[in-house]
Chain A
Amino acid sequence: DVKVTQSSRYLVKRTGEKVFLECVQDMDHENMFWYRQDPGLGLRLIYFSYDVKMKEKGDIPEGYSVSREKKERFSLILESASTNQTSMYLCASTSPAGRRSGELFFGEGSRLTVL
């Protein structure tokens, strides 16, 4: 089975801290995605990557950056965390075939609280 692992299920950080959310997948997928999920707003796409060292902005990239140095790892970085970035963060991956079939594999999520 495909496994998408997010490094932390729960994090609490302070305003202004730099935050790293790590995502690792074990199926050699080229494509990886970061979403955030908030009550009433659903899932919103932050960034995605179709290959190592490539990144594309999603719908809400402001305040975030990403890093894809290795194929299996896609990191989401909050350079200076703010309270409005308190959210559930979800990582997903898929193969090239999966890009068309839409079969994304999601991690369990990282719930970030910024105080």
Chain B
Amino acid sequence: DAKTTQPNSMESNEEEPVHLPCNHSTISGTDYIHWYRQLPSQGPEYVIHGLTSNVNNRMASLAIAEDRKSSTLILHRATLRDAAVYYCILSVVTPLVFGKGTRLSVIA
């Protein structure tokens, strides 16, 4: 699986948008981009996935660069409940290989 690079940690103020970056310069044409998050003391939770086009769902938006070498998970309005570790994963099919992710802190 191609490698992803994410910042170790990020901070956001409550009720502000959050942009979580992910670099994946070695992505192949068939790799999907998946995002998961893991709240404290819970298993990971699926957030969103995409291939080439930007995607929106009730939880977040996924913006994919035109060359697909990077992507950004956008939380439109951070809440305290969004404090978690966010994982960016590339895969064609499961199983998924999780990296270390970005720990997001949300400040009230």
The interface of chain A, by Cβ under 8 A from chain B, is 4, 31, 33, 35, 40, 42-45, 48, 58-59, 90, 92, 94, 98-109
Shortest CB-to-CB span from B7 to chain A, Å, is: 15
- Known contacts A101-B49, A102-B32: A42-B101 contact under CB 8 Å: yes
Q: Is B100's CB under 8 angstroms from A42's CB?
A: yes
> How many A-B contacts are there with CB distance less than 8 Å?
59
- Known contacts A100-B32, A101-B49, A103-B49: A109-B43 contact under CB 8 Å: yes
Measured in the bound complex, the distance between the Cα atoms of B58 and A57 in whole Å is: 35
* B99 contacts A by Cβ under 8 Å: yes
**In the assembled complex, which residues on chain B have CB atoms less than 8 Å from the CB atom of A92?**
43-44
Least CB separation from A56: chain B residue: B95
Q: Is A104's CB under 8 angstroms from B99's CB?
A: no
Q: Is A33's CB under 8 angstroms from B98's CB?
A: no
**Stretch with Cβ within 8 A of A (4 or more), from B61-69, B71-79, B86-94:** B86-94
Contact of A99 among B43, B44, B93, B101 (CB under 8 A): B93
**In the assembled complex, which residues on chain A have CB atoms less than 8 Å from the CB atom of B43?**
4, 90, 92, 106-109
- Known contacts A42-B100, A45-B97: A102-B44 contact under CB 8 Å: no
Measured in the bound complex, the distance between the Cα atoms of B43 and A33 in whole Å is: 13
Shortest CB-to-CB span from A32 to chain B, Å, is: 10
